[in-house]
């Protein structure tokens, strides 16, 4: 045998022995924790036992194993948190111990580009969070409304062009949500689905969803493989390809803006302010700054677009719900003279209920929201040790029949039976009693999503306008006679960590010629006038310079 082969054989034997010893030690330690461990091979962990649909399996475990359960993926331990009470205690009240992120290894740091979303809880994270909060806190979130109303008007007007024929749902919602956040971040609109940035951002989010799914890379399970020489890390090429796509887009936008700043032609926007003041103040380099701005765009566009498409999917599948939403909007708006606006936001409780029910029935993350413990956490009789992942199991919590009878039925009216119909932006913490029946899509604790207020406002205005103008109907068979079933099963959604519907077909049929004409008039007026956001004039192309 060659010396090289013997070296690899020896190293592999040492590694295997260490893995076995580590697994035995871990099982002994966790037996004392008081937390059930329903799955897991003594040596190789639980990944192979989750089956072809791990998200659904984790949900089932959350509904049958009590408030907590523990599983092991490779060398890493995960505690899933399956009740609201446990979420409040572990993520809110003990947030000092549960606000970090895990020591992502191998491919994940390459793919992440230093994203704040997976950064450990430390001084640098708090600095970046402060910067994001400047644009996304509740008072500033209201300033997005002119942009959101403008983009919603274009979206509904664009759908009118289909003439009631079948439309593939995906890109319209993506264009709208991307344009809202890009206008504020970089001062430019996305006027058309043909804008290349739509497809580039969509591809980046697809990459990130795949890369952050449990076990996406071998180093998620065997982190010691990180120590191999770079040329032996066969998974690295795929991770680098993901990173290159992100770096090209986010640095490209940042450098383009920098050039405009030097030329004196830059639009007033968040990234310009950040570039001129915050980067030096907080000691942030250009790459970090570009990726922070990119994180804003990702978070502001992807989740809103997915939620809107899920809402359309479920409304098409539930005509009685759509009828109730339409009746409410028509009663409040009062006929065909105008479409809904943000002036109606406090008078449309059923639209808010639809938003809550969409978030409940299809949480935007299929595998839960993971934090990392930096000290031992005590919950009732259970002890969660430092150095493990703790995961909010939204699918299990949202589908608990004790809280939501018929949990897989789309029933927005369930929220009208309590005070929690109001926008969750009114209740920013998962610990608020009024949110007991609402959703946990935005997470909990110190890492709760800062963009929740912006996201729910976007959903409100576009849903209100859609149900005012259109009957949303399923696609028809080849003969054009019979409606086809609308697939709201797991088969109707893409694989990956994020909940994204596969492209689907529906028909947007105007409810009356008068309403269709009124919407065309509103869009023509919007194009002529533009809008003002935070004292800055915006036209069809974006922020007006000069």
Higher pLDDT, 183 or 41: 183
The residues with which 304 forms a beta bridge, in sequence order, are: none
- Res. 213 pLDDT band, cuts 50 70 90: low
Look-up: residue for tokens 């572990």? 90
| Digit-coded pLDDT (tens) for 466-524 | 999 999 999 998 888 889 999 999 999 988 788 989 999 999 999 999 999 999 999 99
Phi-psi region of 335 (alpha: psi -120 to 50; beta: other; left: phi over 0): left
27: Cβ contacts below 8 Å, ≥ 6 apart: 37, 42
CA angle 480, 482, 484 (to 5 degrees): 100
**Does 388 show up as a binding residue in the annotation?**
no
In a 13 Å sphere around the CA of 523, the CA atoms on its Cβ side amount to: 19
The helix (H) or strand (E) run that includes residue 517 is helix 513-529
CA dist., res. 413 & res. 321, Å (int): 9
The confidence score (pLDDT) of residue 252 equals 95
What the block records as the tokens of 509 is 């049929």
| Digit-coded pLDDT (tens) for 72-116 | 887 788 999 999 999 999 999 999 999 999 876 655 666 666 678
- CA 451 to each of CA 187, 348, 477, 536: distance values in angstroms, whole numbers, following the listed order: 18, 22, 40, 21
Locate the domains of the chain by residue range: 33-543
| Digit-coded pLDDT (tens) for 300-333 | 788 889 999 999 999 999 999 999 999 999 999 9
CA dist., res. 158 & res. 179, Å (int): 14
Helix (H, G, I), strand (E, B) or coil at 480: coil
The confidence score (pLDDT) of residue 277 equals 83
Q: Contact at 8 Å (CB) between 278 and 290?
A: no
Which of 176, 150, 126, 192 has the alpha carbon at shortest distance from 455?
176
CA dist., res. 55 & res. 393, Å (int): 10
- Res. 431 pLDDT band, cuts 50 70 90: very low
| Digit-coded pLDDT (tens) for 149-162 | 999 999 999 999 98
The confidence score (pLDDT) of residue 437 equals 53
33-543 — its CATH code?
Answer: 1.10.630.10
CA dist., res. 311 & res. 355, Å (int): 7
pTM: predicted TM-score of the whole model, two decimal places:
0.88
Helix (H, G, I), strand (E, B) or coil at 482: coil
The confidence score (pLDDT) of residue 435 equals 45
What average pLDDT does the chain have? 85
Per-residue b/e over 180-197, b at no fewer than 16 CB within 10 Å? bbbbbbbbbbbeeeebeb
The confidence score (pLDDT) of residue 124 equals 86
- For range 274-286, the mean pLDDT: 83
The radius of gyration computed from the CA coordinates of the chain, to the nearest angstrom, equals 24
The confidence score (pLDDT) of residue 190 equals 94
DSSP label at 504?
E
């Amino acid at each position: 045998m060659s010396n090289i082969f013997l070296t690899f054989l020896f190293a592999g034997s040492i590694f295997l022995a260490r893995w076995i010893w580590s697994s035995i030690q871990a099982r002994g330690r966790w037996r004392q924790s008081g937390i059930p461990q329903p799955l897991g091979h003594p040596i190789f962990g639980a990944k192979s036992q989750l089956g072809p649909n791990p998200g659904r399996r984790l949900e089932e475990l959350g509904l049958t194993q009590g408030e907590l359960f523990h599983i092991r993926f490779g060398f890493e331990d995960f505690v899933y948190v399956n009740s609201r009470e446990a979420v409040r205690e572990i993520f809110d009240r003990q947030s000092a111990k549960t606000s970090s992120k895990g020591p992502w290894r191998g491919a994940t740091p390459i793919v992440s580009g230093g994203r704040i979303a997976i950064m450990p809880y430390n001084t640098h994270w708090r600095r970046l969070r402060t910067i994001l909060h400047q644009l996304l806190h509740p008072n500033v979130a209201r300033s997005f409304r002119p942009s959101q109303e403008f983009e919603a008007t274009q979206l509904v007007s664009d759908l009118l062009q289909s003439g009631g024929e079948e439309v593939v749902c995906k890109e319209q919602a993506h264009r709208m949500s991307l344009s809202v956040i890009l206008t504020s971040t970089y001062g430019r609109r996305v006027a058309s689905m043909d804008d290349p940035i739509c497809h580039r951002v969509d591809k980046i989010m697809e990459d990130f969803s795949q890369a952050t799914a449990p076990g996406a890379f071998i180093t998620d399970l065997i982190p010691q493989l990180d120590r191999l020489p770079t040329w032996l890390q066969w998974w690295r090429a795929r991770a680098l390809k993901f990173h290159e796509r992100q770096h090209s887009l986010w640095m490209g936008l940042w450098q383009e803006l920098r050039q405009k700043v030097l030329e004196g032609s830059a639009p007033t926007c968040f990234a310009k302010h950040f570039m001129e003041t915050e980067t030096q103040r907080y000691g942030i380099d250009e790459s970090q700054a570009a990726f922070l701005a990119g994180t804003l765009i990702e978070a502001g566009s992807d989740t809103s677009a997915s939620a809107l498409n899920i809402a359309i999917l479920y409304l098409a599948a539930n005509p009685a719900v759509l009828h109730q939403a339409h009746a409410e909007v028509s009663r409040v708006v009062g006929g065909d003279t105008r479409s809904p606006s943000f002036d109606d936001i406090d008078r449309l409780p059923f639209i808010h209920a639809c938003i809550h029910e969409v978030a409940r029935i299809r949480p935007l993350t299929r595998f839960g929201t993971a934090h990392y413990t930096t000290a031992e956490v005590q919950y009732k009789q259970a002890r969660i040790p430092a150095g493990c992942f703790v995961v909010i199991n939204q699918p299990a919590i949202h589908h608990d029949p004790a809280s939501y009878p018929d949990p897989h039925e789309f029933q927005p009216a369930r929220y009208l039976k309590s005070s929690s119909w109001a926008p969750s932006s009114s209740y920013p913490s998962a610990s608020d009693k009024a949110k007991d029946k609402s959703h946990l899509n935005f997470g909990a604790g110190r890492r709760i999503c800062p963009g929740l207020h912006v996201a729910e406002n976007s959903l409100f205005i576009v849903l209100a306008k859609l149900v005012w103008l259109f009957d949303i109907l399923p696609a028809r068979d080849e003969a054009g006679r019979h409606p086809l079933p609308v697939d709201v099963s797991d088969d109707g959604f893409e694989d990956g960590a994020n909940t994204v519907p596969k492209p689907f077909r529906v028909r947007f049929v105007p409810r009356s010629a008068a309403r269709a004409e009124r919407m065309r008039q509103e869009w023509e007026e919007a194009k002529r006038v533009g809008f003002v956001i935070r004292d800055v004039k915006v036209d069809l192309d974006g922020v007006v310079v000069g």
